[in-house]
Each structure stands twice: as structure tokens, then as C-alpha cells.
Structure 1
């Protein structure tokens, strides 16, 4: 294959490879690095390639496994990567918003994928999300077809419990707006109508992270707050309706990413670390 044909073939496969790497690494930047490394390896390849798409899938998959293992040795969490790449914009319906949804992952899915071993994660992503046959999955991972099936099955059982947003986009916006109105007015009955009783609340603070379960935890936080000193409104966080709040000084004090299922918030991540918020590209007040 000549250089021009090789380049054209790589560019044709790039979007799929980027999507694969993003779901493997929970990071757009790391995914782009993985795909770029695949291009370098392709450029150095001297043997004839019959199936370029299959060759790239194999190479990108192995690069991703290496990156995940490297993260583990550095004790680096994909959640830290996810935080660093949050896309926070005005909540509109422009074409750029659809692109954000396609290129980003929700925190609930990142948390579960982070709990998988690299080989489980690759088996699940390749087979369940990209329809790669198990025989090829096993070849990429370096195991038998049956072993690849078992890896994907274990991953699938964990991923099936991930809450995924449903309902129309406007319906999800309405839930966020109802939450804001109830919090401003101290209407706890209204808050309970939009919060799932068993919701999960991830708190990312300067002193570390914590996870709380149950709507009552959010109610207690609202009771402690003073709505007259806080300005909060709906924004888009990774393509989904969320909340950005500013304190009396005009500086951002909280960013909330909300997962809404069946008209209720089931998973919320709140970034409350002033240093993290100061370093983010956030909409103006």
C-alpha cells in the first residue's frame, strides 16, 4: 500500500479508533495520543496489511492497555483525568452540543469502567460497543476466545448497573430547573420529588473525595446553605444538564454534573474544590 493510500485509510478509520480509545481511557486527550501512536507505528510498518481497520483496532487496543497499566503504576485515577476534561458550556441545542455528547463519558460510567481490569475493559469495549468478534478480541488481548467471552461477561455485569440518562433533553432540563427552584425556596417536599431516594452524590473537595448515598444527604446540605448568598443556574456539563454556582465574591463555588433517570436525579457529582474550579473553562456568571 503506497503512502497516500495508507494515509487515506488511516484518516477513514480515525473517528472509530478515537471513539474506541476514548471509551477505553475515559480521556479525549489520552485517546488522541493513543491514536497518534498508532499512526506512528503504521508509518513504520513494512509488512503488507490486508485489513487496515482490523490492524488499527489491534494496535490501538494494545496501546490503551499499556496506558491503563501505566496509570495503575502511577496510582493515577481516570476520575482525575475525567475532571480535567469536563466540558462546561451554556445549555443550548446547537450542533456543537451533539458533538460534546458523542465525545465525552458520564462520571457514572467512568467510575464503573475504572473498576474493571484493563483486559476486562478492552474485551467489553471491543465486543459490546464495537462488535468485534470474540476470536479477534482474544487475539488482541492475548487469550483464548472463551477467555475473552468470560472477561466481557464479567465487565458487562458491572456496567449494566450504570444509570444512563433517559427521557427527552428538555425533560432532563426541567428536572434540574425544578431542583434549583426548590433549593432557592427551601421547598424540601419539591426537592424530594426530583431526587431519587437512593441517589449517589460524589463530592470532590479540596481535602479529597467522598461518596454519599441517599436524598437526605442533599437535603441536609440545602438546609445548611444560604440561597441569598449564592447564584446558581443550569449549564451543560459534558452534554448533560448540570448546575454552576457562584458565591458572593463572584467566583465559582460549585459545579454539579447530574444524571437524570425517569424524571429524577440518580447520580450527582459536585466539584467544590476552589483550585479545580479556578482552572476550568466555565461560562460567565
Structure 2
């Protein structure tokens, strides 16, 4: 059977192929799209020899196409679901007022840190930003661990005093955590 003969069989069997695809895919519109894809595949098919059972051949193409489309649909749904799951919900995003207040608070903290004495600023930077242990900071600054704790406590107090206008829960911020436990 030639390519044009296969197209003639396809046109004859179109209603049956459409029913098969609709049953396999569960959607008539999707089945119509699959049937269109099938027509394009047949058009691009290079027939090297006669096809003994063209109807069986077309049913096999339709079944394979339906399977491919189901698998692709499942992958698409999993990908889209995964994408939605990692997206930030609109209610989780800060509103403009909170963004502005956060920027103002950050500017206040940066100003307070800039005004701190050098040793206090160094202790704070090493402990909070570089996450160095207090013992290492004490060695580097040439003071005791207790001295580092006092520097950090004073630094936190200055930051807390400067930012109390931004937080209603300023009292909770006075509890500091160091390597030994809560400081009051």
C-alpha cells in the first residue's frame, strides 16, 4: 500500500480512530488534536514497502499517540504543580508599607552600627555576620569571652533602642542568645 492509499484508509477510518482516541484520552477536543497530529505523521511517513494491514497499522499509531499524549500530560501536570508549589503566595509577599518600614528599619540599624565604637562593631560583625564563635572573637580582639558578651549586649541594646519604633514586640528582642544560653 502506498502513502496515498494509507491516507485513504485513514480518511475512511477517521470516525473509528476519533472514538478510539477520545476513549483513551478522555476528551474529544484532545482526540481531535491527536487525530490532526496523526494525519501529519502519516503525511511525513516514509513507506518503504507495502503495509499488509493498514487499519491495524493506523490503530497502533493512534494508540501510541494517545499513550504519548497521556504521558506528556502527566509530566506537564507534575511540572506545573511543582512550579506552583514553590511559588510565593501573594498573601506571603509584604505590602508596600511593610517594605518601606523594613527599609527604614534597615537604614536605622546600619546607622547605629556605623556609630558604634570600632571594637563593638567588630565584635558584632564577627559574631553575627561571619558567625565566628565568641571565643575566637575574644582571642582576635585580645579580650575575654565575657568582654565579648558585654560588647555584644551593648551593641544589641543600641540596635534595639534605635528600632523600637518599628516593632511592637521590642520587649522580646531584649532576650539575647549567645553560645551559653539566654542573656537577660
Give TM class, smaller chain: 0.3 to 0.5
Structure with bigger gyration radius: 2
- Structure with bigger strand share is 1
- Structure with bigger helix share is 2
Q: When the two structures are superposed, what TM-score results if normalisation uses the length of structure 1?
A: 0.25
Q: When the two structures are superposed, what TM-score results if normalisation uses the length of structure 2?
A: 0.38
